Structures are given as C-alpha cells and as structure tokens.
C-alpha cells in the first residue's frame, strides 16, 4: 500500500526522501513522487512505475529544499499515471495520502460547484482542494488543517506542506499508520519505523484521530477536537534489522531460507525446551475456561489461522469460528463475550483485520494478536500480543511470517490443550520435541530440494492453470500453495480439499493441468491417494509432495515426486510450506516476474 515520508531537515531532503521511500517499496506501489519547498516555491517530481524512474527525473532536474514530503502510490481511485501520482498540488498546498477518503465525491461535487477544477481522478486531491479553499476563505494553516480533518471521512494517513511555511509538515492519521521520528534539529515522518530507521530510532506513533504539526525542533500533536495530546516516544527496533538481500537474488528467497533461524527464535520465546513444555500463556486470555475461539485474518495469515483451527480443535478441544476478516466483520456473527478472539497479521495494520478486532472488542471478547510488527495498531489494540518474531518481511509474498505464525499458533494450541486438560504432560513433551526438531529438519529440506524444485518450476512456468489438493492441515496448505503461485507467477491456481475434487474441480483435469498433491503419510494418506487415482485416471499430471513412507506406499505414476522427511503431523504444515514456497518462487523466477513486488499487490493493506 501507499508509503509516506516527510523530512523537515537542515540539509537537502529530496535524495533522503527517495531513500526512505525505497525502504517502503516492499509495501507495493505503482507510481511515486516527491515535493519540496525551496526559495518560497513548491516543486515536485513524479513518475509512473518504480522508484528508478523518479530517481532518473531527479537526476535530470534536481529538487533542492530542506523540507519535503514523498509518496509511493498504490492506485485505488484513478489509474497509476504520473498525473494521479502524489504529491498533489493546489494553490500552494501539497498533499500525500495513504488510504481512501470515503466522502470524496460529495466534497468534490461541492467544491466543483464552487468553481474548483480537478486535475486528477484521485480521492486525495479533495484534501488539497479543501485546504486551498479554506486558506482562500481566510483560515490559517492549522485551522484549515483542523477544519479539513473534521470534514473528511474514511481512512487516511496524510502529510501536508504549505508553500508559505517552509519549516512545518502537518500530518494526520485515521487508519493507516504514521510515525513521527525525532532527530537532531531535524524531524521525520513515515508510514513505518523501517522507513525512518536510517534517520532515527526515536519514534512516536500517531493514533487514530491524531494530527500533528511538525517543525525542525519537535512536534505538537492534537486530537480531533484540537486538544493537545502526548504520544509516548519509543525506541524502535527497526534499525537493528539488516534490510538487505544478502547473497540472495530476491528478498523472498532470502526470507524462505531464513525460516529455520527465525522459527528457532520464535519458538524459543514460547517453548521451554529443557522442561519439554510450552511456557504458560499468562495474561488476560485464559484458554482453560474460554468456551470458544474466534479467529480472523486475511490472505496468508488467514490460511495460517485455518491450520490453527485444526490444532486448537484437535489438541485443546476448543471450538474455533474462523473467517476472512472482510467477511467476519460484516457477518453479524453472534459471539459469546466469554470467548476469546485471535487476529493474525504480519503487518498488524490490515484494515479488515483491524475492523474485525474492533467488532469483537465491542462484543466484549478478550483479544489476542498474533503479529509480526509489535508496534502495530492491531498489537496496540489487543489485550494480549503473541509476537511471531519473524523480523521484517520485505517480499510482498508472505513466507517466513506464515511459518512463524504457524509456529506460534501450534505453541498456543498445545498450551491451551494443557490448560484444558485435553493433552497430558507426556503428550505435551512429545509435541514439544517435534517442535524442537523443526528448524533442523527445515534446514535439511532447504539444502536438498532445490534441484528437484527448479526442474519442476521450469515445467510449471509453461502452464496456465494449476490445482493444489490436500486434506487436514494440508488443505489450508494447498490453498497457500495456490495463493503463492498465483500472486508471484500470475499462473492461475486453486487450492482444494482433496475430498472436494469430485464435487466440481475434477472437470478441469486433463493432460495440461498439473495437480500438486500434498500428502504426508498421515491418517488421511489413503484417502488422498484415492483422490490422486481419480486425477490419474483422467490423464492429469500429478506432482506428489509426500514423505519417504508415502513415496514407498504409492504406486501411482507421477510427473514428479518431492520426497520430504517423515515428520510428526504437528509440524507438517511448516515443513511442507518449504516446497510450495520454493516452487512458486522458482516458477516466478523462470517467468521473469517481479518476485518481490508482484503487480497490483501491496504488503500492508490499509484500505477495505
Ligand atoms: C500473501 C500475503 C497476503 C497477506 C494479507 C494479510 O502472500 O502476504 O495475503 O497475508 O494481505 O496481511 P497481514 O498479515 O499483514 O495482515
């Protein structure tokens, strides 16, 4: 989604603004722009496409000035053209915006009737137009900002500069995150702490309804009624993370290979390996007594939640209601206030997940957040935070966050099982043993499967459609495999419960349709093999992902068999994530797509 940065500096800011935008590239965007004030004049450079295009323009015609705002745009209203790229200028006002102004057409009609002429198709331009009108009507900068904020509705993070004030940036937040960074005689603004990490690690986050006036020496923050408010300064961890690709071609590849290490780190904070038990979950959610659990999330995080449902129900006998957040929030689910709710989100900012969280809070449920970004809104609005400790995930396609989410959910489900007396101490020890083996097994898999996967990816790259099948926890994994493949290779892919095959999708099977069957030799194996027979009988090409026992037991001819180590059912979702991630990755590499920033996708989806 869109990224925002701003600097009120002591030296030229344009290059630094673009460097900060680079750190927000991972969020996904399709145009970019920067504006500064120099010599009492606002000026800007904007470009379609990647930041290199903007850099080229800046190299041709540099942009001086020690104050500026910049933006990467992920188009919502209006095509990703240069004209629609931010910053938007109207009569000495420059605006960048992340989010959607919901009442924009009403305000646009009103302003147009008053003579305003719009230069873009964006919702954002009404902010600049409204501010310009308020200034023409005689309001001072702050008053105009406050009045504008009272008028607009929807989701926004905004940064504004006024040509007649080269020492102030104004900012506002309602929805998408915005952080103020404190420097030495300089101040910064950014969509997240990662963007600001080269400049400062001292951050304060605006909360919904806040707006701020930021000068070189500090910031004044106000609530929507105009009352001054204080937001705590915190030291961000973002700077301590290395945000580079190391020896890898893409962030996604790096993040896939990092999984054994980050999972070890995540597990270490949930599992007492010496004692062979999960550390007790202290705090407001008491799994021993809750009658049920609601889980909601989007995309890959939702699929992690779906695996979690199998675990909570199996190990803790805890009924789980789960849905994608965009449906969950509007379904008017009758929720039991004694239940708990878990929200899973890498970014911690996903608009629909946050709205579902607020829905559950209204209903009186205790809220838990399984998040990667600990300073995020979802974390801050939760009663209990379960960090997944994956470190920054830059590739738009989620990989290490998914397996870390799974690791945390597995730990919580076991802990809930112990608290509810549905698993014994000995069973817990055994499950913990399997968790403890996981990073080592993952390393082994990563070191061995690449050649087979690369070979297979060459074949997949020629296909138009791919079907993934699985049962039990391999069913959400089949959906995750399909999601990964479609989002980075643009090949159409679907994930199905293997048992559903004959209820429709079997009609698709022919000699051109690869069917990837995820089937460890578990209690579902025989049934999944029967479904594979149905595929084989119709000439379908099978890619079989199984373990050594499964490979030995199946006599079916396959296009390829990827043989994984024999592991306990608990950890198969994490282990089998590796081949499906690598398969999607190498297929996309063969096809030459933009693996880390696939078209149309955003990393942090802060609009509905
Ligand atoms: C897919 C992917 C997305 C996210 C989804 C939720 O690879 O990354 O489907 O999982 O947009 O994002 P978060 O986890 O930030 O709430």
Q: Which of 26, 298, 342, 374 to mutate to test the pocket of ligand 1 (most atoms within 8 A of CB)?
A: 298
**Is 93 in the same domain as 199?**
yes
Type and span of the H or E element at 229:
strand 228-229
Q: Would you say the pTM of this structure is higher than 0.85?
A: no
Provide CB contacts within 8 A for 479, sequence distance 6+.
303, 306, 468, 495
pLDDT at 241: 57
pLDDT score recorded for residue 240: 52
Q: Specify if 601 maps to a domain.
A: no
Residues 31 and 98 both lie in one domain: yes
* 407 pocket-lining for ligand 1 (C-beta < 6 Å): no
Two tokens, residue 342: 């878990």
Q: Report CA(483)–ligand 1 centroid distance (Å).
A: 10
In angstroms, rounded to a whole number, what is the distance separating the alpha carbons of residues 233 and 418? 39
Our answer on whether the CB atom of 605 is closer than 6 Å to any ligand 1 atom is yes
Q: Report the atom number in ligand 1 closest to the C-alpha of 604.
A: 15
Average pLDDT over residues 378-405: 94
Read off the pLDDT of each residue in 359-376 and give the average, rounded to a whole number. 94
Single out the catalytic residue among 133, 366, 484, 603. 603
Question: 440 C-alpha vs ligand 1 centroid, how far in Å?
Answer: 26
**Can you give the pLDDT at residue 607?**
67
Let me know whether 429 and 496 are in one domain. no
Q: Whose CA is nearest to atom 3 of ligand 1?
A: 299
Residues 295-336 have pLDDT tens digits of: 999 999 999 999 999 999 999 999 999 999 999 988 888 899
Active-site residue 298, yes or no? no
Residue 398 in contact with ligand 1 by CB distance below 6 A: yes
Q: Give the torsion sign (CA, 11, 14, 19, 23).
A: positive
Indicate if ligand 1 lies below 6 Å from the C-beta of 300.
yes
Distance CA 4, CA 548 (A): 50
| 274 and 227, same domain (yes or no) | no
Domain boundary among 218, 240, 262: 240
Say if residue 459 is in the same domain as residue 422: no
Q: Is the CB of 487 under 6 A from ligand 1?
A: yes
- 145 in the same domain as 31: yes
Is there an atom of ligand 1 within 6 Å of 581 CB?
no
Å from CA of 297 to ligand 1 middle:
8
| pLDDT one-digit tens code per residue, 564-608 | 999 999 999 999 999 999 999 999 999 999 999 888 887 777 667
Same domain flag for 440 and 455: no
Which ligand 1 atom is the nearest neighbour of the CA of 300? 10
Domain count, the chain: 3
CA–centroid distance, residue 24 to ligand 1 (Å): 16
Distance, in Å, from the CA atom of 572 to the CA atom of 242, rounded to the nearest integer, reads 30
Q: CA-CA distance, 472 to 522, in Å (whole number)?
A: 9
Strand order in the sheet with 31-38: 41-48, 31-38, 67-73, 3-8, 187-190, 179-182, 202-205, 234-235
- 439 with 455, same domain: the answer is no
Closest CA to 605 of 353, 380, 368: 353
In a domain, 606, yes or no: no
Is 13 close to ligand 1, i.e. is its CB under 6 Å away?
no
Pair 434, 453 in one domain:
no
Domain range for residue 424? 251-446
- At 265 the pLDDT is 85
| 350 pocket-lining for ligand 1 (C-beta < 6 Å) | yes
Q: Which two tokens stand for residue 229?
A: 């408010």
Domain co-membership, 266 together with 406: yes
462 classed as catalytic:
no
What residue spans of 202-350 are helical by DSSP H? 251-257, 259-270, 299-316, 325-328
Q: Between 273 and 497, where is the model more confident?
A: 497
Q: Is residue 603 part of a domain?
A: no
Between the CA of 111 and the centroid of ligand 1 the distance, in Å, is: 37
Marked catalytic residue, from 2, 298, 360, 404: 2
Strands in 384-387's sheet, in edge-to-edge order, are 320-324, 293-297, 340-345, 366-371, 384-387
Query: What pLDDT, in 10s, does the model give residues 16-37?
Result: 999 999 988 877 788 999 999 9
Q: What is the mean pLDDT of the chain?
A: 93
Mean pLDDT of the region 210-224? 96
Instruction: Examine residue 37 and state whether it is found in any structural domain, yes or no.
Output: yes
């Amino acid at each position: 989604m869109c990224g925002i940065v701003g600097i009120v500096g002591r030296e030229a800011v344009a290059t630094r603004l673009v460097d900060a935008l680079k750190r927000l590239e991972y969020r996904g965007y399709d145009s970019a722009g920067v504006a500064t004030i120099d010599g009492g004049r606002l000026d800007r450079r904007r470009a379609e496409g990647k930041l290199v295009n903007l850099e080229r323009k800046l190299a041709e015609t540099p942009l001086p000035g020690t104050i500026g705002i910049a933006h990467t745009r992920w188009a919502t209203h209006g095509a990703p053209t240069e004209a629609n790229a931010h910053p938007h200028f109207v009569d000495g006002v420059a605006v960048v915006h992340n989010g959607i102004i919901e009442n924009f057409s009403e305000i646009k009609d009103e302003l147009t009737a008053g003579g305003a002429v719009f230069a873009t198709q964006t919702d954002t331009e009404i902010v600049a137009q409204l501010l310009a009108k308020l200034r023409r009507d005689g309001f001072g900068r702050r008053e105009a900002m406050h009045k504008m904020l009272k008028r607009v509705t929807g989701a926004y993070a905004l940064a504004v500069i006024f040509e007649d004030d080269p020492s102030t940036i104004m900012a506002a937040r309602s929805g998408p995150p915005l952080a103020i960074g404190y420097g030495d005689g300089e101040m910064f603004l950014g969509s997240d702490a990662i963007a600001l990490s080269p400049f400062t690690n001292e951050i304060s986050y605006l909360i919904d309804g806040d707006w701020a006036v930021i000068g070189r020496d500090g910031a004044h923050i106000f609530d929507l009624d105009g009352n001054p408010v204080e937001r705590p300064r915190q030291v961000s961890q973002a700077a301590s993370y290395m945000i580079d690709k190391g020896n890898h071609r893409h962030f996604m590849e790096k993040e896939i290979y990092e999984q054994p290490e980050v999972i070890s780190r995540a597990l270490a904070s949930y599992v007492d390996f010496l004692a062979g038990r999960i550390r007790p979950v202290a705090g407001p959610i008491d799994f021993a007594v809750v009658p049920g659990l609601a889980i909601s999330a989007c995309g890959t995080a939702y699929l992690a939640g779906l695996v979690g449902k199998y675990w909570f129900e199996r190990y803790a006998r805890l009924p789980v209601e789960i849905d994608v957040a965009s449906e969950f929030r509007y379904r008017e689910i009758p929720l039991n206030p004694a239940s708990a709710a878990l929200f899973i989100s890498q970014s911690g900012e996903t608009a629909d997940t946050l709205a579902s969280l607020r829905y559950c809070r209204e209903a009186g449920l205790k809220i838990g957040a399984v998040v990667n970004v600990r300073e995020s809104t979802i974390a801050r609005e939760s009663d209990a935070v379960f960090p997944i400790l994956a470190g920054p995930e830059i590739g738009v396609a989620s990989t290490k966050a998914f397996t870390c989410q799974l690791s945390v959910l597995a730990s919580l489900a076991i802990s809930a099982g112990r608290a509810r007396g549905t698993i014994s101490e000995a069973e817990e020890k055994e499950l913990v043993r399997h968790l403890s083996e996981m990073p080592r097994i993952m390393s082994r898999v990563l070191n061995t499967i690449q050649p087979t996967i690369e070979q297979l990816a060459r074949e997949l790259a020629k296909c138009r459609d791919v079907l993934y099948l699985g049962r039990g926890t391999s069913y959400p994994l089949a959906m995750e495999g399909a999601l990964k493949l479609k989002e980075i290779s643009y090949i159409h892919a679907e994930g199905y419960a293997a048992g559903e095959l004959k209820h429709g999708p079997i009609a698709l099977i022919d000699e051109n349709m690869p069917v990837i069957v995820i089937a460890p030799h578990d209690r579902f194996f025989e049934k999944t093999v029967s479904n594979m027979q149905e595929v084989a009988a119709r000439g379908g090409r099978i890619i079989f992902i199984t373990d050594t026992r499964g490979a030995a037991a199946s006599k079916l001819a396959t296009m390829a068999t990827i043989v994984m180590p024999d592991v306990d059912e608990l950890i198969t979702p994490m282990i089998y994530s590796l081949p499906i991630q690598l398969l999607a990755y190498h297929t996309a590499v063969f096809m030459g797509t933009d693996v880390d920033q696939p078209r149309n996708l955003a990393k942090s989806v802060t609009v509905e």
